Chains A and B, each alone.
Chain A
Amino acid sequence: MLGLSALLAACGSSSKSGSSSVSSSTSSASGTPKKGGNLVFARSVAPTTLDPANTIIAGDIYTLNQIFEPLFITNPDGTLAPWLAKSFTTSTDHLTWTFALRPGVKFSDGKPLTADDVVFSIKREAANTVGPLSFLDFAIKSVTAKGSSTVVMKLKTPWAPFESDMSVFANAILPANFGGKSEKAFFQSPVGTGAFTLSSWTPDSNLTLKPNPGYWQPGKPYVDSVAINYVTDDNQRVLQVTSGQAQIADSIPPANVASLKSNGAVNVSEFPAWQVDLLVFNEQVAYFKDVHVRRAITYAINRPGLVQAASFGSSKPGGSFFPPSLEYYDAGTPVLAYSVANAKAELAKSAYPHGFSTKLLVSGGDQTYSEFAQIIQSDLAKIGIKVSITTLDHAAFESTFQKYDYDMFIDYAINDISDPDEMASFETDYKSGGSKSYWSSYDNPAVISLVHEAEAEFDTTKRKALYAKIQAQVAQDAPFVALDYPPYIYATSKKVNGFAVNPGGAYRLADVWLD
């Protein structure tokens, strides 16, 4: 997290020097990279579109990341790195941000990257009424080019997460006016500054990438081609890697980790994620309006036991609603740790001292969550709360809780960028966060004002203190229980080097090489 703090501290007024060196994101690389080889990647979600501004689907994002690049990227350790922007400065009122573009960057059609391309791309996303992540650009007042290699962005309000907002895939840089093509035609054969270009693609099926010969990082990418194969079945993905048919497989079920680790041909990697599994309470329901009920349930759930039983120890037991991988996570957050005695005492203080019957909504098809639900059911029975479990298919599940038609539900909350504001406001800002505090209807004005204060705070020490306060207050109010922090689990062939995933789930295959 040092890098981001340093950047934020440095961006007060002066341009950062020496920031043009690209930090290596190859944490697992060893030896000298070799050229050549075809990489086969078995992935659980297929790409549906390659338009960065119009998707939120993992299969799209992790593919288009190889083709397009934003001004900043997130390193595997969660810090930001300048990418197509070489450096930036901000005015003292934090309302004017000036970005200097990296020299020598070319699109895959050979045309150089210019400020006009950046202006076009950011304006397009900021004005995108159906962009799933266009809210991240809400602070932008204007974007203009100053010469061919400088971009000036004016903001409506001082906005601390802005650099991080610029790193989201949705703000990736496309050629101005799609290089003269129609939007539709452009995304059929996209042109970006990334290490790869599209070679072939059957929608909802397999996709192949080939190297961008003019890529700005000399020598990269190392592999001759990348085949991204769509493999929904968990077992099939695992077997494709163990049999050598694929070299990388994503979304490995925690239950398979132990057996894969004993396989001599395969590495299993668990990358920390900006993700937290939540048990959410509906405060529109009388039982859960009562803070003592929420606190009692939080005490009653044995999170270390739950993690051991359902995730086979691959995830970490939950505490703060911020995951440990997120900037400003506070390990000292006073959480309501597992204690049946405390749970009973807390319930006795509530309006329902003898317990009650309630329902727990979960999404079907997720083994881990259905096991979580059963463990929670038995934990809560110990304090007199009788839980019945309702399972719905994912689309129905989402519609149901988003209509507040539930008592409790289990879901995962994620952050798309390195700045924690996204998670803080989405989960606790009842008024303007966008989801009435993750559909819990939790509304604590003190927390909301702290969230807004942190959004405009550029001093990292002060900001850290604000987020510590927010985490502490939320832990006491218990609007949801942070059950665990699951990692991204990948299986890779031992031949694969340089593969690393950032906490947002993204990876850049430019660094991958095969033995």
Chain B
Amino acid sequence: MAGLTLGLRLPAGRPRRPRRATGGGWSYTARRLLGAVLVLIGVTVATFLLLHAAPGNPAEQVLGQRATPAQLHALEHQWGLDSSLASQFWRYLKQVVHGDLGTSFVYGKHVTALVGPRIGQTALLVAVAVMFAILITIPLAALAASRRDSIADQAVRGFSVLGLGLPSFWFGIVLIEIFAVNLKLLPVGGYGSGFGAHLESLILPGVTAALAIVPLLIRSLRVGMLEVLDADFVAAARGNGLRESRVLLVHVARNAAVPTVTLLGLNIAYLLGSTVIVENVFALNGVGSLLLQSIQNRDFPTVQGITLLLAAAVVVVNLCTDLLAARLDPRIRLR
């Protein structure tokens, strides 16, 4: 975030307070927010330029092969695609500033109205994935760390390497085959109706999405725990007669968690990206599948709107992660 302090000028006469990097300090928060705004502007510009530079004409997509040049021009004019790139961008920027993401070329609806009903589904998918990521990571990392170099440790580490190499859609198909087709415990795909059915139908997609980031988390937490296991306070805890499971899960895991929490936060961005594939494999009609469809249709306003929303979500999550890490480890606040 070098250079992001440029925009922040404190009043001249006011004495600079010592920086309290707890996340609550004015200067820290303001800098982070300014950075966030700049990132979003960058994403907006990049998405706009890339979309317009890519071959493929939205009017051709909507009108089909039999369209005449006159029909294509009529639609391009209706959408404002016949004006200069600069004026299109300026118009788009003005809209966005007013909270208007534009109207979808394909659906004729406001992008916000199109995306709104899907956000819940994608957010719930990410939440379920994060929950599974934590539930899988902590016991496996604790097992590997507590029995260093044992068969169990080797197995967990092997699983991590394997997991990093395999694509998530493949995991998804295997899980469907086992739990939905053979055991008939869970639905093959879709979102079901009612909250219970929603949760049930998000189990397999959640595990699939989680498995994409779990290997990284396990490796990070295992190394962190190994470092902490050698610490004096762990010896003290054991000396006081605490059960090993309590030592591991409470004393060691908590102290080893900071890098893993940071990594998890950063990977939520990755999770959001992978929902595009996971939603597709499991027939979930969330934001990710709409994004994929809209790119294929060259539905510029929808692609731009969703990209902006996802970027905003990533920025917010990263911000929260930094604040949370600072809370878990007071030393960070002083850095």
Task: Please name all residues of chain A whose beta carbon is closer than 8 Å to the beta carbon of B289 when the two chains form the complex.
Answer: 204, 232
Task: Please name all residues of chain B whose beta carbon is closer than 8 Å to the beta carbon of A259 when the two chains form the complex.
Answer: none
Is B282 a contact of A402 with CB atoms below 8 Å? no
Q: Which residue of B lies closest to A51 (CB)?
A: B108
Task: Please name all residues of chain A whose beta carbon is closer than 8 Å to the beta carbon of B280 when the two chains form the complex.
Answer: 232-233
Task: Please name all residues of chain A whose beta carbon is closer than 8 Å to the beta carbon of B282 when the two chains form the complex.
Answer: 233, 236
Please count how many residues in chain B sit with their CB below 8 Å of the partner chain's CB atoms: 46
Q: Which of B64, B67, B106, B283 has the most CB of A within 10 A?
A: B283
Q: Is A239 an interface residue (CB 8 A)?
A: yes
Partner of B283, one of A231, A393, A426: A231
Q: Is B43 an interface residue (CB 8 A)?
A: no
Q: Is B271 an interface residue (CB 8 A)?
A: no
Is B180 a contact of A236 with CB atoms below 8 Å? no
Task: Please name all residues of chain A whose beta carbon is closer than 8 Å to the beta carbon of B40 when the two chains form the complex.
Answer: none
Q: A229-B283, A243-B184 are in contact. Are A395 and B55 (CB under 8 A)?
A: yes
Is A130 a contact of B71 with CB atoms below 8 Å? yes
A366 CB to nearest chain B CB (Å): 12
Range, interface on chain A: 35 or more
Q: Is B321 an interface residue (CB 8 A)?
A: no
Give the segment of B10-18, B135-143, B240-248, B292-300 that binds chain A: B292-300
Q: Is B307 an interface residue (CB 8 A)?
A: no
Q: Is A144 an interface residue (CB 8 A)?
A: no
Is A236 a contact of B66 with CB atoms below 8 Å? no
Partner of A203, one of B68, B70, B71, B107: B107
Q: Is A189 an interface residue (CB 8 A)?
A: no
Q: Is A445 an interface residue (CB 8 A)?
A: no
Q: A395–B189 Cα gap in the complex (Å)?
A: 28
Is A129 a contact of B57 with CB atoms below 8 Å? no
Q: A205-B285, A232-B283, A395-B298 are in contact. Are A243 and B180 (CB under 8 A)?
A: yes
Is A130 a contact of B75 with CB atoms below 8 Å? yes
Q: A385–B194 Cα gap in the complex (Å)?
A: 59
Q: Which residues of B in the span 99-114 have a Cβ within 8 Å of any Cβ on A?
A: 106-109, 114
Is A129 a contact of B66 with CB atoms below 8 Å? no
Please encode chain B, from 268 to 296, with 1 for each CB lying within 8 Å of some chain A CB and 0 for all others.
Answer: 00000000000011110100011011001
Q: A239-B180, A395-B56, A395-B296 are in contact. Are A202 and B117 (CB under 8 A)?
A: yes
Q: A393-B56, A402-B60 are in contact. Are A135 and B68 (CB under 8 A)?
A: yes
Q: A49-B107, A232-B283, A395-B56 are in contact. Are A434 and B293 (CB under 8 A)?
A: no
Q: Is A349 an interface residue (CB 8 A)?
A: no
Q: A393–B283 Cα gap in the complex (Å)?
A: 21
Q: Is A182 an interface residue (CB 8 A)?
A: no
Task: Please name all residues of chain B whose beta carbon is closer than 8 Å to the beta carbon of A235 when the two chains form the complex.
Answer: 173, 281
Q: Is B74 an interface residue (CB 8 A)?
A: yes
Task: Please name all residues of chain B whose beta carbon is closer than 8 Å to the beta carbon of A131 when the two chains form the complex.
Answer: 71
Task: Please name all residues of chain B whose beta carbon is closer than 8 Å to the beta carbon of A329 when the two chains form the complex.
Answer: none
Chain A residues proximal to chain B, CB less than 8 Å:
42, 46, 48-49, 56-57, 129-133, 135, 184, 202-206, 229-233, 235-236, 239-240, 242-243, 245, 392-396, 398-400, 402, 426, 434-435
What are 5 inter-chain pairs, A to B, with CB distance below 8 A? A132-B71, A184-B108, A232-B289, A395-B296, A402-B60
Chain B residues proximal to chain A, CB less than 8 Å:
54-57, 60-68, 70-71, 74-75, 78, 106-109, 114, 117-118, 173, 176, 180-181, 184, 187-190, 280-283, 285, 289-290, 292-293, 296-298
